[in-house]
Amino acid sequence: MKLLFATNNSHKLSEVQQLLGGLYTLVTPADMGLTEDIPETQKTLEGNALQKASHIYGKLNVACFADDTGLEVDALNGAPGVHSARYSGSDKNLAKNVDKLLHELEGHTNRKACFRCVIALVDGEKEVLFEGRVDGEILLERSGTGGFGYDPVFRPDGYECSFAEMSAEEKNSISHRGKAIEKLVAYLREKPLSTL
């Protein structure tokens, strides 16, 4: 069975596909001929996830889901939050985002942070939200080469290594996106969608 995931992010696509296992095969709007940018202009993760899923549903009239994820840092009053992907500018440069974060945290002893992921599922008139969260702290410097985004500087509570030093399986078992996907999967098992 196929399920439409409203994303243009290949890292996110492969991570979510791994989390879903064989329950669904993910397809993207591009796979269905829709290559435009997906809007995300809301002020919350919930708003952005719903905006993206609703936009693609409106274009393709197929049940779909979207996610929005943010890194929220205590010492920065929750920043970068909803602006995580564009923290250093509109070009979504992952390395520059991490550089800016480390610069902003210079001199701060409180490095507590959390990753939050909100998934919005839109199927006709039905809209359902699922949230996952993982708490941890921001390291003083990058550690590890796996994952993507802020993974090299985020160490989850209870672990001695960053997300970027974990295997994909280990990260997915505890990650914010993993927890949100678990809730989505539980919902889909109870209420299967009419799929592509």
Catalytic residues: 68
* Sequence-separated (6 or more) residues with CB below 8 Å from residue 74: 110, 112, 113
- Residue (of 54, 145, 61, 150) closest to 102 by Cα position: 150
Neighbours of 182 (CB within 10 A): 15
Neighbours of 189 (CB within 10 A): 9
Q: Which residue has the tokens 């879903």?
A: 20
**Cα–Cα distance measured from residue 72 to residue 103, given in angstroms and rounded to the nearest whole number:** 16
**Cα–Cα distance measured from residue 23 to residue 150, given in angstroms and rounded to the nearest whole number:** 28
Residues belonging to the chain: 196
Q: Which residue has the tokens 């410097």?
A: 141
Main-chain phi, psi angles of 101, to 5 degrees: -60, -50
